[in-house]
Chain A
Amino acid sequence: MNRAGRLRDESPRDPARPGLWLGLMMGCIGIVAGLRFSGAVGAPVGFILLALSFTLLIPATRAMNRSRNCTTSTAGRRYNTGIMVASLAYVAGLGIAVRIHDQMTLSPSVMFFVALLPTIPTLAVIYVMGRYVVEEQDEYLRHRAIQASLIGLGAVLAVGSFWGFLETFELVPHVPGWWTVPVYAMGMGLAQCWMSLRNRADGES
């Protein structure tokens, strides 16, 4: 290959295609949300469909771990796998805890432990993220992870504050505090996507 070719072709098409799996998962979640909000499916069926949608995280994580564009370090692969396991545990814990709360009348002490079902995976996510920042040897990837994390935190603070004021003024309904984790994850995920796309665009220029 000539020099011009080598310099131009810095970001070849990714055969692992993790974006396809992540897009498929987000599409499924969107469809389930649509079915649930339209009343086409009830809460139990909706949760089962949502949980099934999240299982697409497994092939998505495998694809990310194979992809040279997504993951280039051992720490990155451990991070992807850890986040996948913790996310699946979070979805399962959240669904079970909400169902138990809706279906059963239990003592406050028992409900305290039920509340730990989705909380423990949340702590696991925080641990996996912290471990990644410590273990990642590549300073730029570490810098990107911290940037994405700060953008996720900014999303939580901005959305939470704005929603809180709207709620105080009785313009919107109450939203449970556990929504902070999904909002944080969405903010962080969007930031990572944006940075990856920017890198790819730069690499191909």
Chain B
Amino acid sequence: MKNRLKVLRAERDWSQQDLADRLEVSRQSVNAIEKGRYDPSLPLAFRIADLFAMRIEEIFLREAD
């Protein structure tokens, strides 16, 4: 699944580690999600959305989008 995590992170000038610390996950998790290699669970997707004050579908995009 595509996502805008890297862009959102860059807009805030956060490193992967900064984002990982805020989400209480590993840096590897952030890296894998950014690269689209791992789709987060629904609870983690909600945590990401809450952190950026956005809706899930504004961050995670369907492949067709």
A residues lining the B interface (CB < 8 Å): 3, 6-7, 10-11, 68, 72-73, 138-141, 143-144, 199, 202-203
Chain B contact surface mostly:
helix
Inter-subunit contact B15/A138 (CB<8 Å):
no
Q: A3-B10, A6-B15, A139-B41 are in contact. Are A72 and B26 (CB under 8 A)?
A: yes
B10 near A140 (CB under 8 angstroms)?
A: no
Q: Kindly provide the distance from the CB of B19 to the nearest chain A CB, expressed in whole angstroms.
A: 10
Residues of A with C-beta under 8 A to B26: 72-73, 138, 140-141
B15 and A140 contact, CB distance less than 8 A: no
B residues touching A (Cβ–Cβ < 8 Å)?
6, 9-10, 13-17, 25-29, 31-33, 35, 37-38, 40-41, 44
* Chain A nearest Cβ from B36, distance in angstroms: 10
Could you pull out 27 A-B pairs where Cβ atoms are within 8 angstroms? A6-B13, A6-B14, A6-B15, A7-B6, A7-B10, A7-B15, A10-B15, A10-B17, A10-B27, A72-B27, A72-B28, A73-B26, A138-B25, A139-B40, A139-B41, A140-B25, A140-B38, A141-B26, A141-B28, A143-B38, A144-B28, A199-B31, A199-B32, A202-B31, A202-B35, A202-B37, A203-B16
